[in-house]
Structure 1
Amino acid sequence: MTEHSSQGVGRGRVVRPLVRMTSRRPDEAHRAATPLELLFDLCFVVAVARAGARLVHAVAEGDPAHGIGGYLLVFFALWWAWVNFTWFASAYDCDDVPYRVATLVQMAGVLVLAAGIPEAFDEGDYTVAVVGYLIMRVALTAQWLRASRGETGAARTTALRYAGGLVLVQLGWVVLVLLPDAAWLWGLAPLIIAELAVPAFAEHSRRTPWHPHHISERYGLFTIIMLGESIAATSVAVQAGLDEHALGDLLPIAAGGLVIVFAAFWIYFSVPIHEYLVSSRQAFLWGYAHYVVLGSAAAIGAGLEVAVEQTTHHAHVSATGAAFAVTLPTALFMVSVWAVHARHFKRDIAEHLVLPCGAFLVLLATLAGHWAVPLAGLAAAATVAAGIALGARSRG
């Protein structure tokens, strides 16, 4: 552990040219996200915004199946690359020159992947996206090999298993890109399963020393980034209202969207989840399930933009369809947060029912058409209020 390892985001860090990469203590005090990690996350803002824009275009043009399918696949690549970097950094961040250079390479890979998103959506050509993904994975493999040189025994075996698993799976992606397009139908699911299986295989005999508080903070920060896409969408609604002279029609969408985002923030950060992450099994299931949590959070913003385009008559979708583009990811976010995140801190059946019932009310708002978004916002706000009241009652 280096001398600067416990310093937080707002304090300076002395960077050494080269140190021996060894595991950090999982009980390290004052462990917080680093400025480098925050910079790394900014690259994903660009990539997720690209994916959301293509999703908006597909849904607005009346082709939601194609848009949702492409979004789920592209978001998986982004999410899984972020997950792998985050858990590695929680265990082995030494913040020396080679570590920062390797992180820079991974950031470049994210941007290449983002550049390939339009081709992946519009033409089904994943070549550029896979190249960007490979850049990230090659850099991460080098990090694991470096970690193996600094470890001994079971810890070294774990690091080597990670490196070997990454290499094998990435070879599979290269082969899939070189094969005819029809091969994606058969090769996609096995490769995704293989990606998800690498951590379980690598940490079978010894877990990496990730830091529970650091991991929970990193996931929380990434959730905020995903919700930030919805904040941008509310700004789009106001700007479109000014440009189209339809402010009266779009302000309710902007207000409802803002309330939804704030309610989603409140719901997610209402529990001390780091207290739950006490074993690898619990942490892995929690971390994997965040694919739904984070994906739905980002999709709320895309849905708000679809609602704006439908209101300004720039989308080939009905008012109900546009409303569903907002209410479905909002409800999915609420249910998934309850299932994998907040559920572990609920005390009785009434508290457990708050988020599922709130999600049902949000979906019910779809029937209101043009007024669906503000009504969904009211339902989300009522869900938060009910949770606060029941929590206060339980504590009392």
Structure 2
Amino acid sequence: MTARDTNEPHRTATPLELFFDLCFVVAVAQIAGELHEYLAQGRPATAVGSFLTVFFAIWWGWMGFTWFSSAFDPNDVPFRLVTLVIVTGALVLAAGVRPAFEEHDFALVVVGYTVMRLALISLWLRAACAGAAGRRTGRTFAAGLAVVQGLWCAWLLLPEEWQRPVFVLLALLDLAVPVLGERVRPTSWHAHHIAERYGLFTMIVLGESVMSATSAVRRAVDADYAGGDLYLLAGGGLLTVFAMWWMYFASSAGEFLDSTREGFLWGYGHYLIFGAAAAVGAGLALNIDALTDEAALTDAGAAATVTVPVAVYLMAVWALHVRPHHRGGWGPFLFPAGATLVLAATVTAMPVVATGLVTAGLVAVGVLRERAAERRAERARAERARAERSGGAAA
């Protein structure tokens, strides 16, 4: 196993990484489904708390392998087998989602998480022994992961009222392991490869949201509910998800991921993007259920299940993608303003449609600004060319 070149050209996701992402989205779909069900029952505290807890496990399991495979990817048989073990751990975790929501029983979630962690520890030890990551770096990662995972197993023994506050502490310790490891010696992760990997996972999670909403529309139609408000809601939901996709991929993150610090902030911030994208699908399905009186929520409560995650998504995309590209002018303030309007749509008569119109408006303004910038650049090039021709003629 050797370190990859940070400037390697045409560094793209491998078929193994694509398969890895698709399997992890199975767990995301399970979590989103339980979020939808518990919100429909009028139990938002249990729904949101369990969602954030379990989603952290699947997100962090995905993160650990993604950054490792960006820096070291021999693509040999042992590496492929260990990757499939991590996938198995994710599927075990997915099987434990329902007990975690229903009975606050996180045993199977922790078992799946432990399988993923042990497999990743073996990869870091292999990298350390091969000298790919440096012995101290590889050992620091392996030791940190092992210690924190031991604490997660002990966490299961705590009383339920202690688990939530201790969870926050253990999550912070988990997040600190890469920070400590990279301080010993930065790994050779590839900026454009990382940006592509995150983009692909965002795309898949958004696709899962579309599937969730589509299933809810089908259930409503099967129940002989075919009112115009159903189709308006479905159209508003599609418009929202399409706009979310457009905004995320409007700019390339690989251009500004030029330091470990930027990589940490950008990578960790995607917890909000991934989580919000998954929650939007549950919210859209819940609003469709509310039309057929299958959800025990007020109109404003049902609306908030869409508007709140969309607003979170907008702010996260603004912080991670928009601000690094636009340092000045009024353009960067469009996203905070859009998030505010989306939250205000919670109390409107058709909140999902209003959300779709606001997000589509943000996309339209962004496209117009980009076209205007291209025209200014073309005029500047033409003026420089004329100046060079005039200078040559004078000479």
- Listed as ranges, the gaps of 5+ residues in structure 1 are 1-20
Match of 1:133 in 2: 113
Pairs within 5 Å for 1:225-374: 225-247=204-226, 248-369=228-349, 371-374=350-353
1:389 to 358, 368, 372: 368
- 1:318 and 1:202 map into 2 onto residues whose CA distance is 48
Alignment partners' CA distance in 2, 1:212 and 1:151: 22
Query: Structure 1 residue 84 and structure 2 residue 64: aligned?
Result: yes
What is the rounded CA distance, in whole Å, between the counterparts of 1:186 and 1:353 in structure 2? 35
SS in 1 for 2:361: helix
Amino acid in the other structure paired with 1:275:
E
Corresponding letter in the other structure for 2:126: R
d(CA) in 2 for partners of 1:99, 1:372? 47
Matching residue of 2:49: 69
Deviation track 1:107-153 (CA, whole Å, cap 9, x = no partner) reads: 1100000000111111111001000000000000001001111117x
Within 2, Cα distance between the matches of 1:313 and 1:296?
25
The alignment's TM-score, normalised by the length of structure 1, stands at 0.92
2:158 maps to which of 179, 182, 199: 179
1:23 is matched with 3
Residues 389 and 192 of structure 1: is their aligned pair in 2 closer, same or farther, counting only changes over 3 Å?
same
Q: In the alignment, is the contact (CA less than 8 A) between 2:35 and 2:48 conserved in 1?
A: yes
How far, CA to CA, are the matches of 2:329 and 2:39 in structure 1?
A: 37
- Structure 1 counterpart of 2:364, one-letter code: A
Cα displacement string for residues 301-340 of structure 1 (whole angstroms, at most 9, x for unaligned residues): 0100110111111011112211111111111101110012
CA offset at residue 45 of structure 1?
Answer: 1.5
SS of structure 2 residue aligned to 1:178: coil
Asked whether 1:208 is paired with 2:187, we answer: yes
TM-score under structure 2 normalisation? Answer: 0.92
Alpha-carbon distance, 1:237 to partner: 3.7
Instruction: Report the counterpart of residue 10 of structure 1 in structure 2.
Output: none
Select 1:97's aligned residue among 77, 96, 106.
Answer: 77
Structure ranking higher on relative contact order (CA contacts 8 Å, 6+ apart): 2
How far is 1:177 from its partner? 1.2
Once residues 164 and 332 of structure 2 are traced to their aligned partners in structure 1, the CA distance between those partners, rounded to angstroms, is 39
State the distance in 1 between where 2:63 and 2:21 align: 11
Asked whether the equivalents of residues 237 and 250 of structure 1 are also in contact (C-alpha less than 8 Å), the reply is: no
Query: Aligned-pair distance for 1:358?
Result: 1.4
Paired positions, count: 374
Identical aligned residues as a percent: 47
1:57 aligns with 2:37: yes
Kept after mapping to 1: 8 A contact 2:99/2:106:
yes
1:345 is paired with a residue whose SS is coil
Q: What is the CA-CA distance between 1:342 and the residue it aligns to?
A: 1.6
RMSD (Å) for aligned C-alpha atoms? 1.3
